[in-house]
Amino acid sequence: MTPVVVERGDSSIILGMPHPGTYVEDAVVSCLNETGLALADTDWHLPRLYNGLLNGATVVRATFHRYMIDANRDPSGASLYPGQNTTGLCPTTDFDGRPIYKPGLEPSTVEIERRRQQYHAPYHAALAAEIDRVRKRNGVAILYDCHSIRSHIPFLFDGRLPDFNIGTNLTTSCHPMIEAAVRDICADVTGLSSVVNGRFRGGWTTRHYGQPKAGVHAIQMELAQLTYMQETPPWDYLPDVAVRTRTHLATVLSALDALACSGQLAPSQ
C-alpha cells in the first residue's frame, strides 16, 4: 500500500488531502476497539468533492487513516492547540474524546516512530517535493489544504461549526490577498456561514509550509461536512447538496489561481 498518491498539474495550486484515507494495517486493526474500527473521523469523500474543480491543480492525497498517524500533526508530537481539546500525532481517542484502542494496546513510542517513518514522512516528502516543483515552475505555490469535519462535536468546540472554516495561522501562512480573496468569496455565499482563523486556524501542514516571503503560501479549508454529505453512518455523499458547495469551492480555487498568475504574490511583494 502506497501511503501517498500524487496527481501532478501545471497550475500554482496544490490540493493537500491528509485525511481522506481509510487504510489501517491489519496489526493496528486488531488493536482498535469498536469505536476505533468505525473510522468516524475520516474526511469522507473529499477527493470526489474537489474532483475537477480546477484544471491543472496538483493533488497530494494520503491513503492511510488518521488513526494510523495524523499527517496534519507536528511530527514531534507537539499540540496544535495547547490548552484545548484536540487529537495528537497518533490519536488514542476520537473527536468525541472516546478511546479508540482496546485497553493496553495503545501505540508505544517505538510504534509511533515506526508509523511516522512509514506514513507521515512519505506523505510530507511528496508534498514538499510538489511544492518545490510548482514554485520553481511558476514562481509561486499555493498549498490549499483540504479538510472536513462534522458540524457538531462538543468535545472540540461549542455549538455548530461554521460551514467554511478558513485557516491562515492568523494571516502568517499566506499573503493577505489570498486570505482576503477566500474570505470574501465565502462571506458572499447566501445561506452558508464562514469564519477566518476561528476554532481551526490551520494545522501543522499550513503552519509548516506557509512561507510567503519564499513564494510558498498555505491556507486551510475546513468544511462542515453537512455542506456535502451525511454526517452520520454510512456517511453518504449527497450530490444534490454538494453541487452548491462545489460551485463555491471552484470559485475559490479559480480566484487563487488567478492571483498566482497575476504576479502580485511574488516574494518581493
Q: Are 151 and 231 in contact (CB under 8 A)?
A: yes
- Angle of helix 239-262 relative to helix 176-187, nearest 10 degrees, comes to 150
**Domain segments of the chain as ranges:** 4-262
Residue tagged 480546477 (cell numbers): 54
The whole-model pTM stands at: 0.95
Q: Which helix (H) or strand (E) holds 223?
A: strand 216-224
% helix, strand, coil for the chain, step of 5:
35, 20, 50
Q: Are 167 and 202 in contact (CB under 8 A)?
A: yes
- pLDDT value for 269: 44
pLDDT higher than threshold 60 for residue 60 = yes
Nearest of 214, 128, 131, 220 to residue 169 by alpha carbon: 220
pLDDT higher than threshold 80 for residue 128 = yes
* Bigger pLDDT: 79 vs 48: 48
Identity of residue 17: M
- pLDDT value for 85: 67
**What digits encode the pLDDT tens for the residues 208-261?**
999 999 999 999 999 999 999 999 999 999 999 999 999 999 999 999 999 999
In CATH, the number for domain 4-262 is 3.40.630.40
- pLDDT value for 230: 98
In the structure grid, which three cell numbers stand for residue 94, read together?
476520537
pLDDT higher than threshold 80 for residue 27 = yes
* Residue-averaged pLDDT of the chain: 95
**What digits encode the pLDDT tens for the residues 64-123?**
999 999 999 999 887 676 767 678 899 999 999 999 999 999 999 999 999 999 999 999
pLDDT higher than threshold 50 for residue 42 = yes
**What digits encode the pLDDT tens for the residues 140-175?**
999 999 999 999 999 999 999 999 999 999 999 999
